[in-house]
Chain A
Amino acid sequence: MTQKTTHQKAWLLVTPVVVLVAFNALIPLMTVVNYSFQETFGNNIFFWEGTHWFEEVLHSDRFAASLVRQIVFTTIILLIEIPFGVAIALSMPRKGPWVSVCLVMMALPLLIPWNVVGAMWNIFALPDIGLLGKTLNSLGFDYDYTQQPFSAWFTVILMDVWHWTSLVVLLSYAGLSSIPEAYYQAAKIDGASPWAIIRYIELPKMKRVLIIAFLLRFMDSFMIYTEPFVLTGGGPGNATTFLSIDLVKVALGQFDLGPAAAMSLIYFLIILLTCWLFYTLTMKDEAQ
């Protein structure tokens, strides 16, 4: 019989990580869990509420509306940014002096702080003095993001595409650069068309980075807060009140800590579950 050896010392070695993770993830998370099951009126007095806040949030029309807005927004963002990013990456030069120029230009939007992006677009899109707003209006479009929900959505989406497509581009470009030259030669010898090269060599070879890009963009856009907050503040009305904006309104505007905590947890679980499902499903055929 083989003896299973245990090394108690190993626990000592992982302690720093455990402590670190506990402080930056577990303890704050558990605080939220704590709030979500109780009611408090300050002074550290808590009343047990059970699953009441969860039921309230799940049955509220307001939460449902924010969630729908959030899902629509994220879907549109992904549908635009992933294909657009891949297309830009495919059309970028692979060698020569222009490579670094293109890469720096692509990286620029990513280097701008998020609230600055919001403020930039806020001014850029103003219908009376902003370059974009003024131009659209003088072209005959009735555009005013501070008044019309459609204009507000249009601006938020345009801003996000401007801000984040670069990430997809850079990831795809990294994937493309790792394809050996011999693949292209083989395709050329076969007489494959440019489209066939993209479809049967480049896209399959980019699969892994695209999964990462998709996951990152999904998570980020699902949690979007700063830019629409600075741009529209969630308005006009509630038109661009996405989940996180709504959450902040509940938690800090109304100071309803219990429902806000419950909402946070539901929000967190949705993201976690979606990512896990997506990752497991896409990686299933890889593992075989």
Chain B
Amino acid sequence: MTLEFKQVEKRVGAETHIYPTDLKLEDGGFNILLGTTLSGKTTMLHLMAGLDRPTSGEVWFNGKNVTRAPVQARNVSMVHQQFINYPNFNVFENIASPLRIQRTPAVEIDKRVAEVAELLNLTPLLKRGPSELSGGQQQRTALARALVKDSDLVLLDEPLANLDYKLREELRDQLPKLFENRGCTVVYATSEPNEALLLGGHTATLHEGQVTQFGETAKIYRRPKDLRSAKVFADPPMNTAPVAKQGDTFVLNDTVSWTAGEQQRGLGDSAYTVGIRPHHITPAARGAGAVPIVGEVLITEFSGSESIIHFRVEGRTWVSQAQGIHPFEIGTQAEFFLDSANCIYFGPDNELVSA
């Protein structure tokens, strides 16, 4: 079950929604499309499903060119951000609806719906109508509809975005397990980097209609190919700043500099962009590579057990994400520590040179 984009491009009028893209999703995997709103996630899903035709390029599925094949011929299923169910069918009929259209025998329908309903804890609700369900139950029904069909390709378009926090966590835990061993390729669109990390699998980062990188989720998180991918895959946003390499030292400004790590020894003396994730800047020194940096505190936010502190150094805003509560006074000078061992460096064309 491989899905392959060959130079797929989508233009609407003068606007380019998707720039020519090559992408190969391997069989049976859990794939994530990560990008901000309007980055083209939904367009990508529509192109995969066949709801939209590419302006140019080809879509191949299981070694067959399906570019011109209508959506009905592709055996895909999709779950949307809104909770989409047939309004006057009960849960059972909703789950059974794709099978009814395929003219599956009634006995088989009963069996498969019962199976899927059990899997998604919908068994006690089978007789209810969609208007009598909570948001989470409605979305589970929509998921069950996607599952019952035994599609080759399952597309999930931010399915958890409209759910409240608790339900989102619960369903997110279940999702990868639901699709395990089903032999289908799953594509999950999300705008939240943390969600991508929690789900695992493979991730494609999307930036303004371009797939900037595709690979194992953890790998591309650790080694973003370029600055754009790094920015898409970071929440809170990654700190970036120009640095100069002089010998074995990276110089940020007159007071802040650090010794290059072993991987960076080979880099020539030149200007680079350093990227540091917020959780590698902390109010307390950690480890040998800690580099002190002093700035003016702008905002401190507390989210449960962690603090997010924005501070300014020479006109540039930095963000630190630290465990515990750190009540900094706004406007005061405070000392933070960069973890120089976890810095990544981008060259002049914003390509990754060292991580």
A residues contacting B by CB (< 8 A) are 180, 182-183, 185-186, 188-192, 196, 200-201, 204-205, 286, 288
Contacts and interface: CB of A to CB of B under 8 A. Distances in A.
Contact of B80 (A185, A191, A204, A205): A185
Interface string B63-99: 0000000011000111011101011110000000110
A288 B130 CA distance: 12
B86 A201 contact: yes
Given A190-B98, A204-B88, 20 more contacts: A180-B82, A182-B81, A182-B82, A182-B84, A185-B46, A185-B49, A185-B51, A185-B78, A186-B80, A188-B51, A188-B72, A189-B72, A190-B97, A191-B71, A191-B101, A191-B102, A192-B101, A201-B86, A205-B87, A288-B132
A186 B72 contact: no
Contact of A189 (B51, B87, B88): B51
Of all A-B residue pairs in the complex, the 9 with the closest CB atoms, nearest first, are A191-B72, A204-B87, A182-B80, A204-B88, A186-B84, A190-B98, A191-B101, A182-B84, A200-B86
B100 to A, nearest CB: 9
Contacts of B102: 191
Contacts of B80: 182, 185-186
B101 A189 contact: no
A200 B89 contact: yes
A192 B49 CA distance: 15
A189 B86 contact: no
Nearest to A196: B101
Contacts of A180: 82, 84
Interface in B91-139: 97-98, 101-102, 131-132
B88 A183 contact: no
Contacts of A192: 97, 101
Contacts of B101: 190-192, 196
Q: Taking chain B's interface residues, is the majority helix, strand, or loop, or is none over half, making it mixed?
A: mixed
A192 B76 CA distance: 13
Nearest to B99: A190
Nearest to A182: B80
A180 B162 CA distance: 15
A180 B132 CA distance: 20
Given A189-B51, A192-B101, A204 B82 contact: no
Nearest to B77: A189
A185 B71 CA distance: 9
Nearest to B131: A286
A38 B86 CA distance: 57
A188 B81 CA distance: 17
Interface string B149-178: 000000000000000000000000000000
Contacts of A191: 71-72, 98, 101-102
A182 B76 CA distance: 15
A196 B88 CA distance: 13
Contacts of B87: 201, 204-205
A188 to B, nearest CB: 5
B6 to A, nearest CB: 23
Contacts of A188: 51, 71-72
Given A189-B71, A190-B101, A204 B86 contact: yes
For A182, A201, A204, A205, which residue has the most chain B Cβ atoms within 10 angstroms?
A182
27 contacts: A180-B82, A182-B82, A182-B84, A183-B84, A185-B46, A185-B51, A185-B78, A185-B80, A186-B78, A188-B72, A189-B51, A189-B76, A190-B97, A190-B98, A190-B101, A190-B145, A191-B71, A191-B72, A191-B98, A196-B101, A200-B86, A200-B89, A201-B86, A204-B87, A205-B87, A286-B131, A288-B132
Contacts of B84: 180, 182-183, 186
A222 B80 CA distance: 45
Contacts of A286: 131
A200 B85 CA distance: 10
A191 B6 CA distance: 26
A201 B82 CA distance: 15
Which one of B78, B86, B88, B132 has the greatest number of beta carbons of chain A within 10 Å?
B86
A193 to B, nearest CB: 8
A182 B131 CA distance: 17
Most chain-A CB neighbours within 10 Å: which of B77, B97, B102, B132? B97
B88 A200 contact: yes
Contacts of B145: 190
A16 to B, nearest CB: 38
A185 B78 CA distance: 9
Nearest to A203: B88
A182 B46 CA distance: 11
Nearest to B85: A186
A286 B129 CA distance: 10
A203 to B, nearest CB: 8
B123 to A, nearest CB: 21
B243 to A, nearest CB: 46
B73 to A, nearest CB: 9
Contacts of B131: 286
A94 to B, nearest CB: 16
B206 to A, nearest CB: 20
Nearest to A205: B87
A97 B101 CA distance: 35
Interface string B45-58: 01001010000000
Contacts of B81: 182
B78 A189 contact: yes
Nearest to B155: A189
Contacts of B77: 189
B95 to A, nearest CB: 12
Nearest to A179: B87
A135 B174 CA distance: 71
Nearest to A200: B86
A192 B84 CA distance: 14
